[in-house]
Amino acid sequence: MKRDTKYWIIVASKDHVKAGLVDGIAQTCHGKASPLKRMQKDDFIIYYSGKQILGQPALCQEFTAIGRVMDDEIYQFEVSEDFCPSRRNIAFLPGKDVSILPLIPDLEFIHNKKSWGYPFRFGFLEISRHDFELISSQMLQKEYAEKN
Q: How do beta strands 86-92 and 98-99 pair? A: unpaired
Q: What is the pLDDT of residues 87-96, one digit of tens each?
A: 999 999 999 9
With vertex at residue 134, the alpha carbon angle to CA 55 and CA 104, rounded to the nearest 5 degrees, is 55
- Give the model's pLDDT for residue 142: 62
How many angstroms separate the CA atoms of 87 and 95, rounded? 21
pLDDT score of 145? 47
∠ CA 62-67-72, rounded to 5°: 135
Instruction: Please tell me the predicted confidence (pLDDT) of residue 93.
Output: 96
Residue 73 near residue 143 (C-beta atoms within 8 A): no
Q: Going from the first residue of the chain to its last (148 residues), give the mean pLDDT of each consecutive group of 10, the final group possibly shorter.
A: 88 95 92 93 97 94 97 90 92 96 97 96 96 97 53
Question: How far is residue 83's CA from residue 75's CA, in Å, rounded to a whole number?
Answer: 13
| Whole-number pLDDT of residue 75 | 92
Q: State the pLDDT at residue 1.
A: 61
pLDDT at 25 (0 to 100): 95
> pTM of the prediction?
0.91
Find, among 112, 67, 115, the residue nearest to 93 by Cα: 67
Q: Identify the pLDDT of residue 45.
A: 98
Select the CATH number that applies to the domain covering 7-147 from these four: 1.10.3720.10, 3.10.590.10, 3.40.50.720, 3.40.50.11540. Answer: 3.10.590.10
138-142 own/partner pairs: CB under 8 Å, 24+ apart: 138/63, 138/98, 138/103, 139/46, 139/63, 139/66, 139/93, 139/95, 139/96, 139/97, 139/98, 140/66, 140/93, 140/94, 140/95, 141/94, 141/95, 141/96
